[in-house]
């Protein structure tokens, strides 16, 4: 299935995408896509519903993040061998983990806002894992039993905050709008091999990232198991798993986002996002 949330920000309804690409309202069956509705039993119950019997969402409706605000938004750094090479970094011996702020999550086509003081705003197409059931000390062999599905994440990053301001990377990773998720949350049965899907990102029509999940250093199963050794992962939590090469920081000379530019972000089987970069307002 493809799970979706649609409607005005803060008032989204849960839906699914039918075989013809029409968004169908499932709010009569589940309250939202969040903890308590992403477990295997609930998803199986929704899959058994005749999609054509459900109300269609309004044409042109806004698409929200594919899950409501996660309790934890965990990110993995330098997890693609070719991206590590472009940054000049050594291949990590274990996954590098940091946090993104849960309240940076926005819809896949919402604007991305340049934060105050930003000078080096960057992009990262990433494959995100959404947890479906509580995961603690799980084995790699059992890891997929705890995964509700996969979606696109644009791990928007402010490199000056991240690298030049000392301390943790999270300084450059959690500003408002830095976590577009969606458009869909795609259940694992729809993806033949999640470790071999194409990933790409364009800026104003110019492709800057063109990679594949096959170059991940630590795969999906390993990451779910590994992270669960250090923290409890709850349903609705998001793990974003790193980016292939082509980020602005790695270009020679480096190239960063400007107001008015548009990012188009895609992963094979998971859909496409599009975000306009806008100045800070507030």
- Give pLDDT tens digits for 163-173: 999 888 889 99
- Three-state SS string across 192-209, please? CCCCCCEEEEEECCEEEE
- Give pLDDT tens digits for 189-223: 999 999 999 999 999 999 999 999 999 999 999 99
The number of C-alpha atoms within 13 Å of 106 and in the hemisphere containing its C-beta is 21
Domain extents in the chain: 65-278
Q: Distance between terminal CA atoms of the chain?
A: 38
Could you give the C-alpha distances from 257 to 35, 89, 108, 122, 148, in angstroms and in order? Answer: 34, 23, 17, 6, 33
Q: What is the mean pLDDT of residues 85-106?
A: 91
Q: What pTM was computed for the model?
A: 0.97
- Look at residue 83 in the predicted model and tell me its pLDDT: 79
- Which residues is 10 bridged to in the sheet? none
- Give pLDDT tens digits for 250-277: 999 999 999 999 999 999 999 999 999 9
CA distance 241 to 217: 10
| CB 253, CB 263: distance < 8 Å | no
Q: How far is CA 195 from the centre of its chain?
A: 16
* Longest CA–CA separation in the chain, Å: 55
- Look at residue 96 in the predicted model and tell me its pLDDT: 95
Q: Is 130's pLDDT higher than 80? A: yes
Which residue intervals of the chain are DSSP H helices? 40-47, 81-87, 159, 220-227
- Radius of gyration for the alpha carbons in the chain, expressed in angstroms and rounded: 18
What is the fold, at CATH topology level, of the domain defined by 65-278?
Answer: Fumarylacetoacetate hydrolase; domain 2 (3.90.850)
- Look at residue 142 in the predicted model and tell me its pLDDT: 98
Q: Give the residue from 164, 149, 158 showing the smallest Cα distance to 123.
A: 158
Report the mean per-residue pLDDT for the chain.
Answer: 96
Q: Is the peptide bond before 183 cis (omega within 30 degrees of 0)?
A: yes
Tokens of 162: 């991240």
């Amino acid at each position: 299935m493809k799970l979706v949330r649609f409607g005005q920000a803060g008032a989204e309804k849960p839906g699914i995408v039918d075989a013809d690409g029409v968004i169908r309202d499932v709010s009569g069956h589940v309250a939202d896509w969040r903890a308590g509705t992403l477990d295997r039993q609930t998803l199986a119950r929704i899959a058994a519903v005749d999609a054509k019997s459900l109300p269609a969402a309004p044409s042109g409706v806004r698409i929200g993040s594919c899950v409501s605000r996660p309790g934890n938004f965990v990110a993995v750094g330098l997890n693609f061998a070719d991206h590590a090479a472009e940054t000049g970094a050594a291949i990590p011996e274990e996954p590098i983990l940091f946090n993104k702020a849960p309240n940076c999550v926005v819809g896949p086509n919402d604007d991305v806002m340049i934060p105050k003081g930003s000078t080096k705003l960057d992009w990262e197409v990433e494959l995100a894992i959404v947890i479906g059931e509580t995961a603690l000390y799980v084995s790699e062999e059992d890891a997929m039993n705890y995964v509700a599905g996969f979606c696109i994440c644009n791990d928007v990053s402010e490199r000056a905050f991240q690298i030049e301001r000392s301390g943790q990377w999270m300084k450059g990773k959690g500003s408002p709008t830095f976590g577009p998720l969606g458009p869909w949350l795609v259940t694992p049965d729809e993806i033949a091999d999640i470790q071999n899907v194409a990933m790409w990102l364009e800026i104003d029509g110019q492709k800057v990232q063109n990679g594949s999940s096959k170059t991940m250093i630590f795969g999906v199963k390993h990451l779910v198991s590994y992270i669960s050794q250090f923290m409890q992962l709850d349903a609705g939590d998001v793990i974003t798993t790193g980016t292939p090469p082509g980020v602005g920081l790695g270009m020679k000379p480096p190239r960063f986002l400007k107001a008015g530019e548009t990012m188009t972000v895609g992963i094979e089987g998971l859909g496409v996002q599009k975000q306009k970069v806008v100045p800070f307002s507030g």
